[in-house]
Structure 1
């Protein structure tokens, strides 16, 4: 009876060890696959950055502007300053403030593009007070890189319609201002000017994080295997050998 109980316990522990090792090993492999995907994405980003800068003609001739993400661009047009929007709760350099968004009416076409012009700090004594941002009149040249529309933050209720907003939907904003906007934005990379900072974060794949997680999962898998081998195979045999009369 005791032998059967011990044998039953051994197979239960064996099954648990196999499941634990298999699960952690699979999670480690999944992290390696994620790392490979991120490396491919980073390679694609670097290839986009290395291409020639887009001008107005090349941008307007592209049907799928989303495919241009991360590509450099030098665009000409006039600011639609009356439609400047300040996106709230957008930090830069660890400080809270606004991203300043202004549509740029592209020269040589009927369309505009939303430009993420830069960052300004907010006035914490008067949260409705907007900082001064200079917006040149006439035709301007804006240097930057193509980007998706600004990321959306969680907000309660519907999007606002004032100058200060939490989020900005490009299609809805296009209808609001009565001007066609491209389904993309330009992240302006000119040196700090017009009261705006442009210390944008560098796009990285975060591949090191996945390799770190993979190492942790594989280490845990090896730990489970080592504990099973020691406590269920090696230690019982050592005890049995020591208990035998010499």
Structure 2
């Protein structure tokens, strides 16, 4: 009964996770349907909850900072980096990290890719996101240089490393002048459908286990009755 109970609870836990993901997806849909935010509105909303999915339109100017390469990213079966550039939106506001896109790392990890950066003030429109922290590995672990390779997108530590205040979200533009890198979008790492599929697997295992235990119990009773009759 203990094993059966554990399997059922695991299935129920996956159903709960599926419900959470459905709620997140609905919230993302509403954010995408809303009008684009201005920068000050985004900074105000940062104090209230998740910014992922909001649309943002800004006029941004490059600043003197290295290109940031987030390591160990995967896109369409290729391993590489997500490249970012630091931009200024307003004079006295935190700087904005803008995603330049995914770039393949190549075979030689000692040679970092050279990224074409924006050099002029541009108008950018797109959606913003915040990366979920990994409790097993969340520190920046920077390799200082230009570009600067980091292991986790810890904006607090990156701000300290650069000596610049950074906004708590990243802009993924719909288009960058002169840029052609792809922009992966995965705001919810695992869909509600996958959680439902895992729940079905746990419930199936619980059912098979219960049927097996029932069969063994009946078989044991029959053997006991046969021994008594003899």
Q: Which residue of 2 aligns with 1:142?
A: 124
Instruction: Kindly state the Cα deviation for residue 169 of structure 1 after the two structures are TM-superposed.
Output: 3.4
| TM-aligned CA distance change 1:32 to 1:110, over 3 Å | closer
| TM-aligned CA distance change 1:142 to 1:32, over 3 Å | same
Alignment partner of 1:212 is 2:212? no
Q: Secondary structure at the match of 2:86?
A: strand
Instruction: Kindly state the Cα deviation for residue 63 of structure 1 after the two structures are TM-superposed.
Output: 5.0
In the aligned structure 1, how far is the partner of 2:114 from the partner of 2:96?
23
Which consecutive unaligned segments of at least 5 residues does structure 2 have? none
In the aligned structure 2, how far is the partner of 1:236 from the partner of 1:141?
78
The question of whether the paired residues in 2 share the 8 Å contact of 1:88 and 1:164 is answered with no
Alignment of 1:9-48 (within 5 A): 18-48=1-31
Indicate the structure with greater helix content.
1
The question of whether the paired residues in 1 share the 8 Å contact of 2:98 and 2:171 is answered with yes
Q: Could you report, residue by residue, the CA deviation over 1:149-192 in whole angstroms, capped at 9, with x for unpaired residues?
A: 5867959994222123123532333344443211222122326x
Which consecutive unaligned segments of at least 5 residues does structure 1 have? 1-17
Indicate the structure with greater strand content.
2
Q: Which of these residues, 73, 84, 105, is aligned with residue 88 of structure 2?
A: 105
| TM-aligned CA distance change 1:207 to 1:129, over 3 Å | closer
Q: Which of these residues, 173, 178, 194, is aligned with residue 178 of structure 2?
A: 194
Q: Which residue of 2 aligns with 1:133?
A: 116
Q: Which residue of 2 aligns with 1:9?
A: none
Equivalenced residue count is 225
Instruction: Kindly state the Cα deviation for residue 90 of structure 1 after the two structures are TM-superposed.
Output: 2.7
- TM-score, normalisation: structure 2: 0.78
RMSD: 3.5
Q: Could you report, residue by residue, the CA deviation over 1:181-210 in whole angstroms, capped at 9, with x for unpaired residues?
A: 11222122326x534412313434422222
Q: Which residue of 2 aligns with 1:14?
A: none
Q: Secondary structure at the match of 1:143?
A: strand
Q: Which residue of 2 aligns with 1:232?
A: 217
The question of whether the paired residues in 1 share the 8 Å contact of 2:102 and 2:182 is answered with yes
Alignment partner of 1:221 is 2:206? yes
Indicate the structure (1 or 2) with the bigger Cα radius of gyration. Answer: 1
Q: Secondary structure at the match of 2:78?
A: coil
The question of whether the paired residues in 1 share the 8 Å contact of 2:67 and 2:148 is answered with no
- TM-score, normalisation: structure 1: 0.73
| TM-aligned CA distance change 1:52 to 1:108, over 3 Å | farther
Alignment partner of 1:165 is 2:149? yes
Q: Secondary structure at the match of 1:213?
A: helix
Q: Which residue of 2 aligns with 1:203?
A: 187
Q: Secondary structure at the match of 2:205?
A: helix
